[in-house]
Amino acid sequence: MRIYHELNMKPLHLISVAITALLIGCYQSEEPVTTKTATIVNPPIPLAELSLVQHNGTAFDHTTLQGKWTLMFFGFTFCPDVCPTTLQLLALSLQKIEQSGIENAQVVFVSVDPERDTPERLEEYLAHFDEKFIGVTGELTDIESFTQSIGVVFAHNSLDESGFYAVDHTTVILMVNDKAELGGISSAPHKWEDIADDFMTVRAQ
Amino acid sequence: MKLNNRYYALLCGLTFVSLSCAQQTLEVLEPWVRIPPPGMNMLAGYGEFTNSSNSTIELVSAQSENFKSISFHISEIVDGISKMTKLESVLLRPGETARFEPGGKHLMISTPQYDERPEQVQIEFLSVSGKRYQVNFVFLNSEP
Ligand SMILES: [Cu+2]
C-alpha cells in the first residue's frame, strides 16, 4: 500500500503544469537558452514560505536560500540505491561549479522521511558525500506543505518483514536562485556534468 | 547420472571439454556493494549477471554471512517518482544478461554483521532448481 502525502492521493505534476503554462505564456518571445537536460523556469517562481530545520539544528527558511544558488534534492537516508547515487553525483556537480569560480552554490537535501531522519542522522549521512551539504528535516506536515507547494510528492510504503519501509519520492533536482525562487528543474536520469552546466546556465540568466 | 560441480570440473579438465566447461555457470561482471554512509544499515549491490549455461537460471534468493538479509529489488522512475519494488526472482535464459546498476535492479542488502568492513564479501545465490552460486563483491564508493 502506498499513501501519497498529496491532496488527491495521487501524484500531480504541478511543476510540469506550471512550466508548460509558463513556457506557452512567457517563453515564446524570449531568445531560447539551451540547457543540456534541465528545464528553465522563466520567470522564476518564488518558493512558498517554509519553516524547517537544518542538520545543525538551525532554522531552514528563505534566509538560508537568499544570497545562495541552491541545488535541492529530496530523499531519505535509508534509501540504499537512488539517493546515495544522486548525492554522489551532486558532490561532483558542486565540485565542478565551485571550480568554475562560483562561490555561493550550495546543495540541500530535504528529507521526506523525517521520522527516521533526525538532524543528527542527516549530518552523519551527508558528511559521507560532502561536508558542505545541508540536510533539512522537520515536522512531517511542514515538509508536506513545502513539497506540495513545489509539486514534489512522496509516499511512505508499508513495512517489510524486517521492519524497513521505503519512501517513493520525486527525483527532480531543483535549482533555486539567490532570491529563493525556483529557476530550473533537472529530471532523472541525472548526469553530474549536465547538472553543473545547466545550473550555471540557469544562474547566468 | 548427476555430476556435482567438482567432478564436472575434473572431468572437463581431463577431457579438455573446455567449451562446455566455460558454459556451466552464472557469471557476474564487476560485482560491487556501495560503501554505506556511517550508521547506514541498508546497502545496495550491483553487477552484470550473465547466464552462460545452456539452461535457464532463476535466482530466487541470496544470502551472506556478512549481512542479515539480501533481496532482489528494482528502482524505477514512474511519472518522475522513484519507486523501489521487490523482485521475487531473477530469471536468466541461456546467454541472457541482467544488469544490476544504480537506479535499476539491485541487491537490497540489510544490516551488516561485521564489526569492521572487509574489502570484499561473498554472497551466495540460490536458484529455483537448488543450484548455488558464490560471488565475491567488493566495496566501492561508486560504479567501477
Ligand atoms: Cu532496494
Could you give the ipTM of this predicted complex?
A: 0.78
Residue B44: domain span: 5-139
Is the Cβ pair B40, A168 closer than 8 Å?
Answer: no
Averaged pLDDT for residues B13-34:
66
Please, which residues have CB within 8 angstroms of residue A161's CB and are 6 or more apart in sequence?
Answer: none
Residue A85, min C-alpha distance to chain B (Å): 7
pLDDT in tens, B76-114: 999 889 999 999 999 999 999 999 999 999 999 999 999
Which residue among B34, B83, B109 sits closest to A84, beta carbon to beta carbon? B34
Percent pLDDT > 90 in chain B is: 76
Does residue A116 have a pLDDT over 90? yes
- Where b means 16+ CB within 10 Å and e means fewer, B60-87 reads eebebebbebbbbbbbebeebbbbbeee
Which of B62, B53, B55 lies closest to B100 in space, CA to CA? B62
N-terminal to C-terminal alpha carbon distance within chain A: 43
State the helix-helix crossing angle for A192-204 and A82-99, rounded to 10 degrees: 50
pLDDT of the residue at B40: 87
Within 8 A of A157 by CB-CB distance, chain B residues are 84
pLDDT in tens, B45-86: 999 999 999 999 999 999 999 999 999 999 999 988 999 999
Which of A188, A191, A198, A194 lies closest to A89 in space, CA to CA? A191
Does residue A35 have a pLDDT over 70? yes
**Nearest 5 degrees, angle CA B29-CA B32-CA B36?**
165
Does residue B2 have a pLDDT over 70? no
CB atoms within 10 A of CB A17: 11
pLDDT of the residue at A10: 38
**Ligand 1 centre and the CA of B106: distance in Å?**
6
CB atoms within 10 A of CB A1: 6
Which residue among B41, B75, B86 sits closest to A82, beta carbon to beta carbon? B75
On whether residue B32 sits in a domain, the answer given is yes
Averaged pLDDT for residues A57-63:
96
Query: Has this prediction a pTM greater than 0.90?
Result: no
Q: Nearest residue of B to residue A121 by CA position? A: B39
Helix (H, G, I), strand (E, B) or coil at B68: strand
How far apart (Å, rounded) are the C-alpha atoms in residues B19 and A94? 50
Is the Cβ pair A81, B106 closer than 8 Å?
Answer: yes
Which residue among A16, A77, A188 sits closest to B77, beta carbon to beta carbon? A188
Within 8 A of B144 by CB-CB distance, chain A residues are none
Q: Is B138 exposed, middle or buried (0-12, 13-18, 19+ CB in 10 A)?
A: middle
Quick check: bond before B144 cis, omega within 30? no
Which of A156, A184, A167, A189 lies closest to A70 in space, CA to CA? A184
Residue ranges near ligand 1 (ion) with Cβ within 5 Å: B 73, 84, 108
Q: Nearest residue of A to residue B69 by CA position? A: A162
On whether residue B93 sits in a domain, the answer given is yes
Helix (H, G, I), strand (E, B) or coil at B135: strand
Q: Which of residues 177-196 of A touch B (CB under 8 A)?
A: 187-189
Q: Which of residues 93-122 of A touch B (CB under 8 A)?
A: 121
How far apart (Å, rounded) are the C-alpha atoms in residues B46 and A71? 27
CA dihedral A22, A26, A27, A31 (to 10 degrees): -160
Is the Cβ pair A189, B103 closer than 8 Å?
Answer: yes
C-alpha separations of A13 from A6, A37, A152 in Å: 11, 18, 8
On whether residue B144 sits in a domain, the answer given is no
pLDDT in tens, A128-138: 999 999 999 99
- CATH of the domain spanning A10-203, picked from 2.60.40.10, 3.30.300.30, 3.10.20.30, 3.40.30.10: 3.40.30.10
Please, which residues have CB within 8 angstroms of residue B98's CB and are 6 or more apart in sequence?
Answer: B48, B49, B50, B90, B92, B105
